[in-house]
Chains A and B, each alone.
Chain A
């Protein structure tokens, strides 16, 4: 059987941040209550001239740079996001041109709330495994939206992660994947609306926890593995609290979670969230170590992956910025400047 997996990966996080205190001050909330409740202390904010496409390009370029990939080998690009710059006009074509993979490839944009990026990974896995393509590029990128004053505003962040999926010279083999999908309206944004709506606490039990646990348990059953068989675990991070709780429910430890637990100082990068946690874990993982990943997208569904790190990780690990490096040296914004960066002020 053909082994498939991650040939290279790259991440991108904008330099700007806003602290929870700064947002809470505007809306009269208690910053300590927010921080204790969500376990998020600050979140990333895009620059004025950054969007889902620009961040996706930077992440893709980091993935290409990390392994010095010949981009004409990339025969499929799928970009997962719920904040594509155009309603009609693909983000993936912009990325294809910007990394010089154009024109001989297939490309499409993917939308499934916060798990569109991992759905893109599965699409690439299928094409690679069936030998329809040599390499596939799967991206999760979002400038996450949250209405002013909404609870989402404390976590809706910005970032992008790109994975190059292939058969040879693997940095990490994806041994198996398992998905769960149901029609659960826990979070949505209607066409033309600037901000999403959500079901409050409804996004928790029937949304996040049900789907993540079903997918995670399903994958462990399919692969005949248990939490203790994995060195690391990554779960979708809509905030800092949910991944800790679901890890505990499933029997994973905080030690397994630690390298990929990035939400407290990054926020929720939506389509990039679980993928960012995986990138941060790959940054520190060693050959032979196993990683358990489960994403979640509202609407709702989860994709779970069982991954084993391969020899090639050592040669590519430090060839592009690590997630930890991208989190360093932030520039903090006032709420006023944050509103300007996020185009919340209409003139």
Chain B
């Protein structure tokens, strides 16, 4: 990943900072500049999610990209935050322990690295709450 590309989204990855449309009370992550429901009538404000949610679905990754191969098998899930939005994230648990409906909370972890010489990418993952 290009360093600049990650850097632009850095604060949204370090903390779950998204947006909230005050017109229709819908929350978005990643952040949106325009509410797709309210369009011109939408009023968007930045919001920080509490980092708690529930696993909607998940899969277990056995064949991973090279820079994540050391972590296999690992759980990749879709988490629905308590405020509403859904995001894809690694779930830190044994594959046998993961289950749909499991309460999770955000933690700060390494997301990956380019190489031994390259940039280290940090951000949000989830553990059981």
A residues engaging B (CB < 8 A)?
A: 47-51, 53-54, 57-58, 61, 85-86, 94, 97-98, 100, 340, 343
Contacts and interface: CB of A to CB of B under 8 A. Distances in A.
Given A86-B120, A98-B122, A49 B109 contact: yes
Nearest to B107: A58
Interface of B: 10-11, 14-15, 70-71, 90, 92, 107-111, 120, 122, 125
A343 B71 CA distance: 11
Nearest to B17: A100
Contacts of A48: 70-71
A85 B70 contact: no
Contacts of A51: 110, 120
B109 A97 contact: no
Contacts of B15: 98, 100
Given A97-B11, A98-B14, A340-B70, A85 B107 contact: no
A330 B109 CA distance: 19
B14 A97 contact: yes
B3 to A, nearest CB: 11
Contacts of A50: 109-110
* A-B residue pairs, 8 tightest by C-beta: A57-B108, A49-B110, A49-B109, A98-B14, A54-B108, A48-B71, A54-B109, A97-B14
Contacts of A340: 70
A16 B95 CA distance: 16
Contacts of B90: 49
Nearest to B92: A47
Nearest to A53: B122
Nearest to B123: A98
A85 B10 CA distance: 17
B10 A97 contact: yes
A61 B108 contact: yes
Nearest to A57: B108
Nearest to A331: B94
Nearest to A60: B108
A335 B70 CA distance: 16
A98 B108 contact: yes
Contacts of B10: 97
Contacts of A98: 14-15, 108, 122
